[in-house]
Amino acid sequence: MQNKQREVAQLEEKEVKKDIVNRLRTIKGHIQGIEKMIEEDKECEDILLQITAVKSSVDRVGQLIIENHSKECLLKDNISSDEIDKVLKTILKFMK
């Protein structure tokens, strides 16, 4: 049963990694767009709207990484309480 769970987790991890890379490429494109908007003296409101979108996208990438990391760590055999504490500390650091 645990082997099957690991296989499913590995497939999910590959999909999540692909999604994260795509999101990061999109974020990079948005940042380049913001840079161009600033160079072209676009309206402050428009620039800030794009920055808000980038911030939201970066937060979502962080959430995906935390979720994937947590699943990966918590599905280990014989996970120690120290490892669980480390996962929880990582989550809490991200949430600040």
Give the Cα separation of 61 and 19 in Å (integer): 9
Give me the residue label for tokens 């808000």.
Answer: 52
Give the Cα separation of 67 and 52 in Å (integer): 23
Cβ pair 94, 66 in contact under 8 A? yes
Residues of the chain predicted below pLDDT 50: none
Give the pLDDT of residue 2.
61
Give the pLDDT of residue 9.
67
Instruction: State pLDDT tens for residues 59-81.
Output: 999 998 888 877 777 777 778 88
Give the pLDDT of residue 70.
79
